[in-house]
Structure 1
Amino acid sequence: MPTYAEQVLISTGRSNWPSKIDEDECEDSALVRQLRKNLLRDGKYSDPYHNIMLTNSSFPPTDSLVHQIKEATPSASAFLLPSFQYVPTIPTDPPSVENFIKAFVLPAKLHQTHNTLTRAQQNILLRQPDRQKHFPGARPINEILILICGHGNRDARCGTLGPILQAEFEDKLKRQNIALLRDPPVAEAEVVDTAVEGYVPTARVGLISHIGGHKWAGNVIVYIPPSFRGNPLAGKGIWYGRVGPEHVEGIVGKTVLDGKVIKELFRGGIDGEREVITL
């Protein structure tokens, strides 16, 4: 598993992309290009101790037509993990993307190595949560997320296995009375408490772009939200590799419901403190 501090999962509503997602000609690729320019190697906000993973997903973006007409600027939607936040409207012009980075993506606390920097230099690399008010509709994620690499233009194995695994996960989740969400997230007025009697768990299953490790196909990431307080994996992301349809029922039962890691499939994991999970 690649070491990362945050996965920015961009909602494209499509299930396949060019081999390099920043070369996509669709409007949502503008966000990828701006994020890559600012966050990856030699970028203004590049931080080797806070690596950012940029990934496209098949989840549909929030309808931002009104915003685009008003502002005359295309926008995108993204999930942030393991922050478990969803930002529905991110204008893709360069100043707005920098504002998004400062509001949500930068670390809340710098690695001790940065103590040698001046205060001004440190402030550039630190998150500024007060900027989140410029992104109305941002909300916590309280549903299970199951992400499956289906990037066929990058690797044929993922392109073949991805849709098969997606259908299998959806079937097995429904059999466990977990409701599948297909529409974009909507604003929530109250904090969700999954421990309340009668609460019906919800989940999203989507295809994503390349996350490394073609030889591990099928590649699956399971994110359990912090609100699932009774689950030992709440607030964590678990990476599985070499997943076949025959493994899906076990992943749903053991990992999603019981909060247990399946050692034979385990590639790694990340917790809410950005620490790597090992067995």
Structure 2
Amino acid sequence: MPEGLPLDHDHPLNGTMAAYAQQIVICTGQRDWRSRIEDDGKDQHWGELVRGLKNLMGRGGPYADPFNNVMVTNSSLPPTSTGPLSPGAASAFLFPSFKYFPSIPVGVTKFAKTNADLSTFVRAFLLPTQLSPMMETLPEPRHSELLRKPELASEFPDAVDIQYSPVILICGHGGRDMRCGVMAPILEEQFRRVLESKGISTPVGTGSGNFDSPDRAHIGLISHIGGHKYAGNVIVYIPKRMKYGDSPVPHPLAGKGIWYGRIEPKHVEGVVEETILGGRVLSDHFRGGIDYDGSILRL
């Protein structure tokens, strides 16, 4: 580890994951970012998406809600380069909704009522379906503005439901803290090696025909998620229809996201065997988790 940046091997990990409602994982095709991700990608659509989301949902934004914590995370996963909206759009995954959006418009226009823009995406997918009791006292017009509008999902017909392919995200934000920056590429390579040995492919691109299949996994480095001192930090998202080994039995962790800390290369085989394939949580590394309905998981 870098000098002066020790790892914490003593503090209990369970409960160190901050609660969140959803995580949007933006496909940048880039393997590291500036400390503040909104300061990066100045000439890239993915950078516009980061800044647009923070402007819309951050403090002072029209959809700001302190009880609806949507994590905006950059990833090394590559964006889809084709599609009708690609000239002004970016790609992203959304968890625990288990969706992939190849083309999210990054602009906000005054014609949003007739043309899908970024605010349409926010209202369709990122707002809560029910407000916190602390927000229920808001005036009715404001109350309605902060609730999700599921009918707007039809404005994004190219959205892909991820049903079979697990997604492994490894914090590798060296621009923020070199502990994850050093550890993540090693873990990424080890995950690819172990998964490939189990017959699960880990291609880098998102455009191949088997984008979502039982024999494919998506692996990406991601920006800061908290807890650099617990590096390596790994999130494993298990889709709802992933099976338990070769049997028709549903995967015990289907629809869940499991956060691990203190993952070293020697632990990767165990994460693959026990969690991804076996459906068992490694309690010694467990930081927290999230279920498909957004409920937070603790041991």
TM-score by length of 2: 0.84
| 2:217 counterpart SS class | strand
Percent of aligned positions that are identical: 46
CA contact (8 A) 2:83 2:103 kept: no
| 1:234 counterpart SS class | coil
Aligned with residue 255 of structure 1, among 268, 275, 286: 275
Does 2:67 match 1:49? yes
Indicate the residue corresponding to 2:226 in structure 1. Answer: 212
Alpha-carbon offset, residue 132 of structure 1: 1.8
Indicate the residue corresponding to 2:3 in structure 1. Answer: none
Partner Cα separation in structure 1 for residue 21 and residue 209 of structure 2:
25
Partner Cα separation in structure 1 for residue 23 and residue 43 of structure 2:
21
Partner Cα separation in structure 2 for residue 19 and residue 81 of structure 1:
23
CA contact (8 A) 1:137 1:187 kept: no
Alignment of 1:78-93 (within 5 A): 78-93=92-107
Indicate the residue corresponding to 2:235 in structure 1. Answer: 221
What letter matches 2:22 in structure 1? E
CA contact (8 A) 2:241 2:251 kept: no
Indicate the residue corresponding to 1:195 in structure 2. Answer: none
Alpha-carbon offset, residue 111 of structure 1: 2.5
Aligned with residue 195 of structure 2, among 166, 173, 177: 173
Partner Cα separation in structure 2 for residue 110 and residue 233 of structure 1:
27
Indicate the residue corresponding to 2:36 in structure 1. Answer: 20
Indicate the residue corresponding to 1:234 in structure 2. Answer: 254
Partner Cα separation in structure 2 for residue 186 and residue 265 of structure 1:
33
Partner Cα separation in structure 2 for residue 80 and residue 247 of structure 1:
27
CA contact (8 A) 2:85 2:104 kept: no
Does 2:6 match 1:6? no
Partner Cα separation in structure 1 for residue 67 and residue 84 of structure 2:
38
Alpha-carbon offset, residue 135 of structure 1: 1.9
Partner Cα separation in structure 1 for residue 208 and residue 20 of structure 2:
27
| Residues 104-161 of structure 1, C-alpha deviations (whole Å, 9 max, x = no match) | 1111222233332333222111111221222231011121000001111111111111
Partner Cα separation in structure 2 for residue 172 and residue 67 of structure 1:
36
What letter matches 1:277 in structure 2? L
Partner Cα separation in structure 1 for residue 122 and residue 265 of structure 2:
37
Indicate the residue corresponding to 1:245 in structure 2. Answer: 265
Aligned with residue 60 of structure 1, among 74, 78, 95: 78
CA contact (8 A) 1:139 1:187 kept: no
CA contact (8 A) 1:40 1:52 kept: no
Partner Cα separation in structure 2 for residue 174 and residue 167 of structure 1:
11
CA contact (8 A) 1:227 1:234 kept: yes
| 2:284 counterpart SS class | helix
Partner Cα separation in structure 2 for residue 4 and residue 81 of structure 1:
10
Higher relative contact order (CA 8 A, sep 6+): 2
Indicate the residue corresponding to 1:276 in structure 2. Answer: 296
| Residues 30-85 of structure 1, C-alpha deviations (whole Å, 9 max, x = no match) | 110010111122321122221010000111101147535xxxx5210111100101
CA contact (8 A) 1:10 1:79 kept: yes
CA contact (8 A) 1:150 1:161 kept: yes
| 1:116 counterpart SS class | coil
Partner Cα separation in structure 2 for residue 200 and residue 207 of structure 1:
21
Partner Cα separation in structure 2 for residue 65 and residue 139 of structure 1:
13
| 1:93 counterpart SS class | coil
Deviates further, 261-270 or 58-67: 58-67
Indicate the residue corresponding to 1:196 in structure 2. Answer: none
Alignment of 1:160-199 (within 5 A): 160-184=182-206
Deviates further, 137-146 or 34-43: 34-43
Partner Cα separation in structure 2 for residue 200 and residue 270 of structure 1:
22
Aligned length: 266
Deviates further, 164-173 or 102-111: 102-111
Q: Using a 3 Å threshold, how does the CA distance of structure 1 residues 187 and 109 change in structure 2: closer, same or farther?
A: farther
CA contact (8 A) 1:151 1:209 kept: yes
